[in-house]
A and B are shown apart, each in its own frame.
Chain A
Amino acid sequence: MLLRLITWPYVRKHLLRCTLTTAGIVLGVAVFVGMHTANQSVLYAFNRTVDKIAGTTQLQVTAGETGFPEDVLERVQGHPGVGVAAPVIEATVQTGLQGEGNLLVLGVDMTGDRNLRDYELEKADEAIIDDPLVFLAQPDSVIVSEKFCQRNGLKLNDWLTMRTMEGPKQFTIRGVMQGDGLASAYGGNLAIMDIYAAQMVFGRGRTFDRIDLSVAEGQQVDRVQKSLQAMLGPGLQVDPPSSRGQQFEAMAKIYSMSANISSLFALFIGLFLIYNTFSIAVTQRRGEIGILRALGATQGQVKRLFLLESGIAGLLGSLAGLGFGLLIARGMARYISDFMGEVYGAAQRAEEISADPRLLLTALALGVATSLIAGWIPARNAAAVDPVKALQKGRVQVITEGENRTRRWTALALLALAILCVFFGHRPLFFYSGYLLSVLAALLLTPALCSWLASLLRPFMKLLRPVEGALAADSILQSPRRTSGTVAALSLSVALVIGLGGISKASYETILDWADAALNPDLFVSSSQSVTQRSFRFPASLGAEIQAVGGIDEIQAVRTARIVHEGIPVMLVAGDVQRLAKRVKMRVVEGDPRTMYQLVERGQGVVISDNFALLRHVHKGDVLHIMSPSGRLDLPILGVVVDYSDQQGTILMDRHLFVKHWKDDTINVFRVYLKPGYTQQAVRQELLNRFGQRTRFFVLTNGEIRAFILRITDQWFGLTYVQIFVAVLVAILGIVNTLTVSISDRKRELGVLQAVGGLRSQVRHTIWMEALAIGTLGLLIGYALGAVNLYYILEVTRRDIAGMRLNYRYPFEIALTLIPVMLGAALLSGAGPAEAAVRGSLVEALEYE
């Protein structure tokens, strides 16, 4: 009843303000839902693909990306608990078909694989469907999905060109898969071929990527898993297909962390916008409150009314945020898919957005809770209104000295706690508590800082415009509650921009420094256009042939492979470590560079990257238990170097050790150093002339590799820029909201000003200057809070996101860029309210309140 009689008329009258108030909640919830939904959708799409490809597979035997020798298959098939076991090779290839991107090729043994997977080959020629003999006898045979055929106008017995290790090669479509099962995996971009043909065309030697299996009738999956694992040893992993999703999830975790920080900031900003608006609403509605109380409404009823209002605002804002978040999730999912594909070669396009009800409920609860927290103090103040005083006109915007003192002391206490937390920062609970406490302390100090800074600004403002400047400064000084909420929201936005911008800048600098040191060969010979794609590999013998090309001083053969270390995929780099170390001067964090590389070369240990050490809390002297197909390798860490080859960390070992234990001498990349006097272009051309037609062969210059790394970094920070944009947008909304409120609040005051002869331009300038002053206060406090925020974001990145030890450099360029952006936005935000103030009816204004 009260809502309908009291609240609804007020909302109707101040619709714009109410909408702006909820904007912070809308954006906070939207960022939270958008980022997490996008992440979940990519993960869901990945899991769906895994499920579809897995068919009735119950367990999979894997050894990371490196694969394992063929003889493992017989051991698995010989296990009494295994019903059917079929080997698989997976590779992504380019087809050259426009707009098709990559095709996922599944190499399978058709004699047994159809026990696990239903190919639904209804449309294929019967003799071929039912006759694996033809399929097996012809290594150019492929089966593709009906979707793929339809998209590209292909039919049975047509040719399909794929870029294999033997160069572009024509394959014959000997089967077309239908249905929503296997055929729809990877968006239909799926091809099936014989596993031994796949070994040949992908340069895999005699290895399989994995073995899919179903357990024998009457056997329990978990028991078979355990006994098979025991039989195969720790070098091979026996897991259900769903575990691949868990590894993918670990890779996508960094996006979730980033999304959480941004969402939290956006919600904080929303909290202050709501607090600010409700505080002002309480002031403006003192009369109504007084009448309600005089008519017998209890304090509890008034408090509940305001809390209900804030709850409803939070609910509506959250609902809008959910919708907006789901809307932006699709674009974000595409972005994350592309990024994952570039970096991990594990792309999976999310065809549809999968919204997790639990996530939506969490977001809704967060939004409503934020709003309720924001409305708590105004609601309490409303309930405390004295009915007699309330019916008298007068200002109540002044924060009492007692209230100010309490806030200051609380802020200082929180600050002391935050500092204390820094000393125990190695524990996540203390670290993140410290982060939160320091932000809270800064926000509680905002009113005091606002008053202090505004009094400092007053002479300058007065100097610029004696009357308008003084009026604007006084307005801020006399109404700290109205202003401080906005300034807090604004400073949070600025702090977020400083933090994100600072980390972006530091990352670029650090990555480029590393690239200068580590990626110094003149040319890189790769079997894939992208160095992160490892489906194809060169035979080791190619090295000698490349070395014989004129102008080449030295080549370094490198084998990179993602392996699973303690459940997380990390990068294993196997190379001639001594020679690498001579050419590459990577910054050594732990260990003696004079001896550690020698020991690594002798196979007595490994060198790890700094990010590996930080993310897994290991140091020089610790022993890594690395699982190889030949068994567990216990290798001590001989050194820690700064290396950003992989976001999850790198293990550098000698190639001989890798060949011995992984029984794989293939190569991903040859690093090529030229003799003086030879140009990159000339040698590249010579290499392409010699090998380009013979095998899948790409030569990338140093500049191209650096450009690729920069592109990846750009992609990584792409979403960060979206978050910065959201932060600035919320800040602008905050200013518009405050000034709109400010004008309504001061309608009478401005009316009086005009009535006593104040010019319209003076009123306009006063409001403009107030807007600029609020912007300046937000910037100044935001810069300071940004410095703290940057410290914490760098720490979060170091310890929980990427393990990158980034230098603390305050982003002064970004700080300077924010001045015109924020002040310009403030001025623009003030334009509308200023015009409303000068164009309104003077009589109405004088009658206000």
Chain B
Amino acid sequence: MNKYLLIFLLALPLAAQDGRTIVAESQKRARADSQRYEGTLEVNDAKRKVSTKRWVYERLGSAGESKAVLRFTAPAEVKGVALLILNHPDRASDQWMWTPAVARERRIALQDRRTRFFGTDFSFEDLEERDVDRSTYKTLGEENGAWKIEGTPKPEAKSQYTRVLIWIRKDNYVATQIECYAKDVLIRRIRYTEIEKVQNIWTARNVEVHDLQRDSRTTMKLEKLQYNLSLAAESFTLQALRREQ
């Protein structure tokens, strides 16, 4: 998941050349042919009630044209539910959800991408990978050893956000924080912590999303993280979703 959020940076604007360079470099350093991890999500709602979900995440391909499958493993009532994401460099991703109890896949429409991702504080859009050229950006300065970059999605990106602010560490090009705005209102803040090197790729193992409007927080932990492992392309299809219910 953090991969996606990192890649989200790459969707940022290119108003200033140095900003784009930073983002491109960040993307380059995070690049891997495939990825797998077991994730744990904890949602702390406004009433501080906690709910937990677990899933296995697999991704094949590089940023911008990757395919990913996210399969829930717990709790029992959502076990087997899966999400297939096909990212495209030039347009919004295609997403399908598989529900084993009704043995049906449903397409997540583009219009629905601003809605929250299954009760977490992420939106479906936050799961997408986008080409850097679908946004413009400028560097605003430096803060605590990180570049502060402002990104503005281009109209054709059809983003729910009007601008985002990203902080990228100068020493390893890893994003430490993203703030997402809609019409100048800050709606989400994402923080990356427990940053460590896994198979030579700097990766945040802990991601916290704060929905400021709902005052709800989602913490995601990445376990058993592996890069560049061998994954079959045919596992990233609707047929595979149906088969592996």
* A interface residue numbers (CB < 8 A to B): 73-74, 77, 82-85, 109, 111-112, 114-115, 126-127, 130-134, 136-139, 194, 196-197, 199-200
Contacts and interface: CB of A to CB of B under 8 A. Distances in A.
B73 interface: no
A84 B111 CA distance: 6
A115 B51 contact: no
Nearest to B51: A127
Contact of B78 (A84, A130, A134): A134
Contacts of A77: 109-111
Nearest to A131: B119
Interface in B1-56: 43, 45, 47, 49, 51, 53
B108 A130 contact: no
Contact of B101 (A111, A127, A137, A199): A137
B102 A133 contact: no
Contact of A111 (B47, B51, B102, B115): B115
Nearest to A128: B119
B142 interface: no
30 contacts: A73-B109, A74-B107, A82-B111, A84-B112, A85-B109, A109-B106, A111-B97, A112-B108, A112-B109, A112-B111, A112-B112, A112-B115, A115-B111, A127-B51, A130-B43, A130-B45, A130-B119, A132-B118, A133-B72, A133-B119, A134-B119, A136-B106, A137-B72, A137-B77, A137-B80, A137-B99, A194-B102, A196-B99, A196-B102, A200-B102
B118 A133 contact: yes
B116 interface: yes
Contacts of B47: 126
A196 B112 contact: no
A595 B189 CA distance: 74
B104 interface: yes
Contacts of B118: 131-133
Given A74-B107, A115-B112, A139 B119 contact: no
B65 to A, nearest CB: 22
Given A74-B109, A112-B115, A131-B119, 7 more contacts: A126-B51, A127-B45, A130-B43, A133-B81, A134-B119, A194-B102, A196-B102
B97 A136 contact: yes
A85 B81 CA distance: 23
Contacts of B108: 111-112
Nearest to A198: B102
Contact of B51 (A82, A83, A84, A131): A131
A82 B104 CA distance: 25
A133 B110 contact: no
A77 B110 CA distance: 8
Most chain B Cβ neighbours within 10 Å, of A85, A131, A139: A131
A199 B80 CA distance: 20
B214 to A, nearest CB: 8
Top 3 closest A-B pairs, CB basis?
A131-B119, A133-B118, A112-B112
Nearest to A129: B119
A112 B110 CA distance: 10
A112 B115 CA distance: 7
B125 to A, nearest CB: 13
Count class of interface residues, chain B: 20 to 34
A85 B102 contact: no
B132 to A, nearest CB: 26
A640 B97 CA distance: 50
Contacts of B49: 126-127
A114 B118 CA distance: 13
Given A84-B111, A115-B115, A138 B104 contact: no
Interface in B82-125: 97, 99-102, 104, 106-112, 115-116, 118-119
A130 B49 CA distance: 12
A136 B99 contact: yes
A137 B78 contact: yes
Contacts of B97: 111, 136
A126 B81 contact: no
Nearest to A214: B111
A126 B115 contact: no
A109 B47 CA distance: 27
Given A126-B47, A127-B49, A132 B81 contact: no
A127 B49 CA distance: 8
Most chain A Cβ neighbours within 10 Å, of B43, B47, B107: B107
Most chain A Cβ neighbours within 10 Å, of B43, B108, B115: B115
Given A85-B111, A112-B112, A196-B99, A127 B77 contact: no
Contacts of B115: 111-112, 114-115
Given A127-B119, A130-B116, A83 B81 contact: no
Nearest to A127: B51
Given A126-B45, A196-B102, A197-B102, A132 B111 contact: no
A629 to B, nearest CB: 19
Nearest to A82: B111
B104 A134 contact: no
Contacts of B43: 127, 130
A342 B245 CA distance: 43
Nearest to A194: B102
Contacts of B101: 137-139, 197
Contacts of B77: 134, 137-138
A131 B43 CA distance: 10
Contacts of B51: 126-127, 131
A211 to B, nearest CB: 11
Contacts of B109: 73-74, 77, 85, 111-112
A133 B43 CA distance: 13
A133 B99 CA distance: 9
Contacts of B107: 74
A133 B112 contact: no
A139 B106 contact: no
Nearest to A112: B112
B140 to A, nearest CB: 29
A550 B110 CA distance: 54
A127 B72 CA distance: 16
A131 B115 CA distance: 11
A797 B235 CA distance: 66
A73 B119 CA distance: 24
Contact of A136 (B81, B110, B112, B116): B81
A194 B104 CA distance: 12
Contact of B119 (A82, A132, A138, A196): A132
Contact of A196 (B81, B106, B111): B106
A134 B104 CA distance: 15
Contacts of A73: 109
Contacts of A199: 102, 104
Most chain B Cβ neighbours within 10 Å, of A109, A111, A194, A196: A111
B97 to A, nearest CB: 7
A85 B99 CA distance: 21
A209 to B, nearest CB: 16
A831 B77 CA distance: 80
Nearest to B116: A130
Nearest to A197: B102
Nearest to B72: A133
Nearest to A114: B115
A133 B101 CA distance: 12
Nearest to B47: A126
B121 to A, nearest CB: 10
A111 B107 CA distance: 10
A111 B112 contact: yes
B180 to A, nearest CB: 19
Contacts of A127: 43, 45, 49, 51, 119
B218 to A, nearest CB: 11
Nearest to B78: A137
A194 B103 CA distance: 13
Nearest to A136: B99
B45 A139 contact: no
A137 B81 contact: yes
A194 B111 CA distance: 18
A111 B99 contact: no
Nearest to B107: A74
Contacts of B110: 77
